[in-house]
Chains A and B, each alone.
Chain A
Amino acid sequence: MAASVLCRRTAALCRTLTGMSSSKTVLPSSWLLLQTASYNPKPLKLNLHEPYVPDKDSEKTPEWQKTARYDRKLFGRYGSASGIDPASLWPSHEQLDKMIAEENEWHPPLKVMLKNIKDREKQEAEQRLAKEKLIAANMAKMPKMVADWRREKSETKQKLKEEKARRAKLLSEARERFGYTVDPRNKKFVEMVAEIEKEEKKKKKLMKRRLKENQVAAPVTPPAASSSS
């Protein structure tokens, strides 16, 4: 056992020695000795000469010495000298059924375990893929969303500016009309604003009518011109 290992090592050493040194070297005999060691185990005190086998029938023996577990230990320590039927060492049919049921519940067979692992991994992979897809789709939408947002922002800004300009114009208009700076919340101001709006509307309507008339006149005359020509 160890000799084979040692022989290999001594052989290697011999080779190196003969390669290196002169022929005067002699192998000390101690290297060729077999090195063995043995551990000293504790002596097994089986107590076979004076076995203590408790009397099952008497009342003086404690309860725990009448259990099946203790019987098994007696058998293990004294063998057949303990007077215990070896058939009782194995579980009975009911106990065996319970053990089988427990094992089926808590220790599934290898195939079932592998299947569970596979399913779980598949599910995790699917979830991960779905999440990544969602992220990718959203990222693809990003430039458009950014542009939209920027546009909206600029629009609101523009509107605010326009609003401000309109208000300033109205204020100046009111100033011209009334001759002094009117508070925008004043009634007169409000009436004035309403009047201006009415005038604007009338103007727009007139403009629209004129545009319509022009449009009607314009398409009529070119066909007439074309038909005539």
Chain B
Amino acid sequence: MSFPKKPGGKALDVLQSLPRITLANLRPEPGAKQLERRRGRGQHGGNRSGRGHKGERQRGTRPRLGFEGGQTPFYLAIPKYGYNEGHSRRPQYQPLSLKRLQYLIDLGRVDTTQPIDLTQLVNARGVTVQPLKRDFGVQLIDEGADIFAAKINIEVQRASEGAIAAIERNGGVITTSFYDPISLGILIKPVPFFLRGQPIPKRMLPGEDMVLYYQDAEKRGYLANLEKIQQARLALAQKYGYILPDISKDELYHMLSMRKDVRQIFFGLSPGWVVNMPEKKILKPTDEKLLKYYSS
């Protein structure tokens, strides 16, 4: 054909000539709507309306859950033991499987060319963290480790060994770091924090119960020695049977080696700065005492 074809063609003609779409022209896809089950109507739904024959079942006067007709019920007969003692004070970590992470990366919700932080995950609506419910962050789980194929620089609060191996196998970098509850609240909702007009606080160190975890090179803790981390990477590669790719020869080496300072909450923002959102400015303190405090 010598003359160029109109894009759309016959479909466009049809679309232009059809009447406007109204409720009268629409119909749900067959099989989309399931009719509800109405009780007390018809030969099968009527009569006793699915309640059974006489007794407490039909009359709706059944006793509470767990009641055993007067016999000491199971949940009272078994003596208490401190399994759940202080359960509401224990730190919790929202699980994030590698399968979900891969899903988010595939859909483009999480940018792999930048370091992945809890802020990025929350912005991508990949996880929901509630600091007020004793959540201390996100833990990486190795479900989907076999299908994971993305080179990322990720920072989580806890990670299982298999997850660490999966990320490092693909040439990525993983770090586990600690955020105290206030810092966590700021991390997951940075904009409301900046609108409060407070200077960015410094991140507190973990308590005595968690310091050893974050000092461990096996767990890639942020307080651990870098050489030990490198050794641990090699050891893990040997354990799981893959060749550890050399990150230093990577084009994204600078991005992959980006790591937050121990007291830093955001990349590129130091503690003590005030972010002025309406005017898009950052205010930094000049007083020596303040500087000393915020940089300690």
Chain A interface residues toward B at CB < 8 A? 1-2, 4-6, 8-9, 34-39, 41, 44, 46, 48, 71-81, 86, 89-91, 93, 96, 99-100, 107, 109-110, 113-114, 116-117
Q: Measured between alpha carbons, how far is A173 from B205 in the docked complex, in Å?
A: 93
Tell whether, in the assembled complex, residue A76 and residue B290 are in contact, meaning their CB atoms are under 8 Å apart.
no
What are 11 residue pairs bridging A and B, where the CB atoms are less than 8 Å apart in the complex? Answer: A1-B112, A5-B105, A5-B112, A36-B108, A44-B191, A71-B197, A75-B197, A76-B195, A76-B197, A76-B276, A117-B211
Question: Assuming A5-B150, A110-B211, is B197 touching A73 (CB within 8 A)?
Answer: yes
Tell whether, in the assembled complex, residue A37 and residue B109 are in contact, meaning their CB atoms are under 8 Å apart.
yes
Partner of B293, one of A5, A71, A78, A100: A100
Partner of A89, one of B124, B199, B293: B199
Q: Measured between alpha carbons, how far is A37 from B105 in the docked complex, in Å?
A: 10
Interface residues of B in 169-219 (CB under 8 A from A): 191, 194-199, 204-205, 208, 211-212, 215
Residues of A contacting B289 in the complex (Cβ-Cβ under 8 angstroms): 93, 96
Tell whether, in the assembled complex, residue A89 and residue B208 are in contact, meaning their CB atoms are under 8 Å apart.
no
Tell whether, in the assembled complex, residue A81 and residue B278 are in contact, meaning their CB atoms are under 8 Å apart.
yes
Tell whether, in the assembled complex, residue B107 and residue A1 are in contact, meaning their CB atoms are under 8 Å apart.
no
Q: Measured between alpha carbons, how far is A100 from B194 in the docked complex, in Å?
A: 23
Which residue in chain B gives the minimum CB-CB distance to A71? B197
Tell whether, in the assembled complex, residue A113 and residue B197 are in contact, meaning their CB atoms are under 8 Å apart.
no
| Contacts A1-B113, A2-B112, A37-B109 known; 10 new A-B pairs at CB < 8 A | A1-B111, A5-B105, A9-B149, A39-B124, A75-B276, A76-B194, A78-B278, A86-B274, A113-B208, A114-B215
Interface residues of B in 104-152 (CB under 8 A from A): 105-109, 111-113, 123-125, 149-151
Shortest distance between the CB of A112 and any CB in chain B (Å): 10
Residues of B contacting A117 in the complex (Cβ-Cβ under 8 angstroms): 208, 211-212
Count of A-B residue pairs with CB < 8 Å: 102
Tell whether, in the assembled complex, residue A2 and residue B106 are in contact, meaning their CB atoms are under 8 Å apart.
yes
Residues of B contacting A86 in the complex (Cβ-Cβ under 8 angstroms): 274, 283
Which residue in chain B gives the minimum CB-CB distance to A109? B205
The reply on B29 being an interface residue by CB < 8 A is: no
Q: Measured between alpha carbons, how far is A84 from B261 in the docked complex, in Å?
A: 31
Tell whether, in the assembled complex, residue A89 and residue B197 are in contact, meaning their CB atoms are under 8 Å apart.
yes
Partner of A96, one of B113, B205, B293: B293
Question: Assuming A72-B196, A73-B195, A86-B283, is B109 touching A107 (CB within 8 A)?
Answer: no
Shortest distance between the CB of A27 and any CB in chain B (Å): 18
The reply on B68 being an interface residue by CB < 8 A is: no
Shortest distance between the CB of B203 and any CB in chain A (Å): 11
Question: Assuming A4-B112, A48-B278, A72-B197, is B204 touching A107 (CB within 8 A)?
Answer: yes
Q: Mark B274-295, 1 if CB is under 8 A from A, else 0.
A: 1011110101010101100100
The reply on B223 being an interface residue by CB < 8 A is: yes
Question: Assuming A5-B149, A48-B278, is B211 touching A113 (CB within 8 A)?
Answer: yes
Tell whether, in the assembled complex, residue B274 and residue A89 are in contact, meaning their CB atoms are under 8 Å apart.
yes
Tell whether, in the assembled complex, residue A39 and residue B109 are in contact, meaning their CB atoms are under 8 Å apart.
yes
Question: Assuming A8-B149, A86-B274, A99-B293, is B197 touching A37 (CB within 8 A)?
Answer: no
Partner of B108, one of A37, A96, A107, A110: A37
Question: Assuming A37-B108, A93-B289, A96-B290, is B125 touching A72 (CB within 8 A)?
Answer: no
